[in-house]
Amino acid sequence: MLRTYFKSKIHRVKVTEAELDYIGSITIDKDLLEAADMMDGEKVQVLDLENGERLETYIIEGERGSGVICMNGPAAHKIHVGHTVIVITYAMMTAEEAKDFKPTVIFPNEHNKLD
């Protein structure tokens, strides 16, 4: 049986942009994606620390080194520029696989960069 487990997390980044007139998703700096073991097109859960909003969307790879965290489309109504968010991915695996699996968690600085 497959179960869904926590895979990776970008902990506490600031939303730098919001593009309402876009088809949807969250754009994330490529440096952050690589460090957090996340990929373009991957499903994510975004948690807003300012208003408690939780939503699911998919990743669009942003420019490397830009620090971009951009809420696109309908998500821009719920999560705004300046808000602090946590971005989480999950993976399907067996309980046996999960025993040895170690999630990846990164802690960017206040400029959405890795120190």
Catalytic residues: 25, 58
Q: Which two tokens stand for residue 108?
A: 């960017």
Beta strands in 1-115 (DSSP E): 3-14, 17-19, 25-29, 43-48, 54-62, 69-72, 84-93, 104-106
d(CA 102, CA 75): 30
d(CA 44, CA 25): 9
